Amino acid sequence: MSTANTAKLKEQFEAGLETRADFTIDQPMHRYGAVDHAVWSQLYTRQAALLKGRVCDEFLAGLERLNLSAERVPSFDAINARLTPSTGWRIVAVPGLVPDCVFFEHLANRRFPVTWWMRRPDQLDYLQEPDCFHDLFGHVPLLINPVFADYVHAYGRAALAASDAGALPLLARLYWYTVEFGLIRDAASPNGVKIYGAGIVSSKGETLYSQQSDAPNRLGFDLERVMQTRYRIDTFQKTYFVIDDLAQLFDVARTDFAPLLARLANAPAFTAGEVHDADRVFTRGTREGWEADGDI
């Protein structure tokens, strides 16, 4: 965990937000001011309108069932009352990014960590660390979908079991290119894709860029290819991977990860922007606006 995150956890602890051993806290409803609710309302209203026709139907169905407030930061308890009976998932409030092992342990038990605080108005269009809007609006609607719910649960169990440290980068890439920045095939949409990844869903700029820009590559999802492909955390993605449907993630969830992780642990990593002859190319990017380095 970065020192910045540790500092934030310390700051939150000192602010009286008692953080439990599993890094969860009680959602401090009293800590949301008018500005926080206004930022939530502005982001929710803008993204809910922008995503229509751009995000997969399963996300919209989940958003409908969650019935999130468009005006105020929602109560996590109220969301769990709808979420838990549907797929057994529940959201738990956390101060921010938590250590990998803690995160994976939550996922393996169908608990999704949701940052409690809201970004500031001057961070409306971008912030590096996930806030409540990214985690709640971006991630939670698809956890009502049983196939996606099983995928994230199986992912958490595989990540928790992956004792070898060499496996963590492989699993982080899989999470990044599916749960965070995944695209899904849709022949009637621009570039043949719609959105499902939370990092795109919660970002106005990347909602437009990932589906409409000519700059990035859009390649057919392949588990081993994704696990070996580095990514960017500070810019829009150079490459997006496209699944045919959510059921494809269901198949990934059934993978016996141990031998695969062992085999790939020392395999070469590919840069975020390269395209291989074996790739199923939806679009080969113009690479316009790409920054040379910065892949992790």
Question: Which x/- pattern over 66-105 shows residues binding ligand HBI (rule: CB under 6 A)?
Answer: ----------------------------x--xx-x--x--
Q: Give the shortest CB-227-to-ligand HBI separation in angstroms.
A: 12
Question: Which position among 62, 74, 130, 197 is part of the footprint of ligand HBI (CB under 6 A)?
Answer: 130
Q: Give the shortest CB-67-to-ligand HBI separation in angstroms.
A: 24
# residues contacting ligand HBI (CB under 6 A): 10
Q: Give the shortest CB-172-to-ligand HBI separation in angstroms.
A: 4
Smaller CB distance to ligand HBI: residue 202 or 210? 202
Q: Which of 280, 212, 215 is nearest to 242 (CA)?
A: 280
Q: Give the shortest CB-57-to-Fe ion separation in angstroms.
A: 21
Q: How many CB atoms lie within 10 A of CB 21?
A: 6
* SS3 of residue 259 by DSSP: helix
Taking the C-alpha atoms of residue 176 and residue 294, their distance in angstroms, rounded to an integer, is 15
- Which residues have a Cβ under 8 Å from the Cβ of 166 and sit 6 or more positions away? 261, 265, 266
Smaller CB distance to ligand HBI: residue 186 or 195? 195
Strand partners, 239: 217
Rounded to an integer, what is the distance from CA 79 to the centroid of its chain?
Answer: 18
Could you say which of Fe ion, ligand HBI, none residue 97 binds, taking C-beta under 5 to 8 angstroms by partner kind?
Answer: ligand HBI
Q: Give the shortest CB-52-to-ligand HBI separation in angstroms.
A: 26
Smaller CB distance to ligand HBI: residue 74 or 285? 74
- Which residues have a Cβ under 8 Å from the Cβ of 37 and sit 6 or more positions away? 71, 72, 73
- Which residues have a Cβ under 8 Å from the Cβ of 32 and sit 6 or more positions away? 72, 73, 118
Smaller CB distance to ligand HBI: residue 132 or 191? 132
Q: Which of 235, 271, 241 is nearest to 179 (CA)?
A: 241
Count Cβ atoms within 10 A of the Cβ of residue 244 and give its class: 0-12 exposed, 13-18 middle, 19 or more buried: exposed
What residue ranges in 3-132 does DSSP mark as E strands?
90-94, 111-115
Q: Give the shortest CB-138-to-Fe ion separation in angstroms.
A: 6
Question: Which position among 62, 74, 113, 216 is part of the footprint of ligand HBI (CB under 6 A)?
Answer: 113
Asked if 63 contacts 74 with a C-beta cutoff of 8 angstroms, the reply is no
Q: Which stretch binds Fe ion (CB under 5 A): 65-73, 100-108, 129-137, 242-250?
A: 129-137
Residues in touch with ligand HBI (CB under 6 A): 94, 97-98, 100, 103, 113, 115, 130, 172, 175
Binding site for Fe ion (CB under 5 A): 130, 198
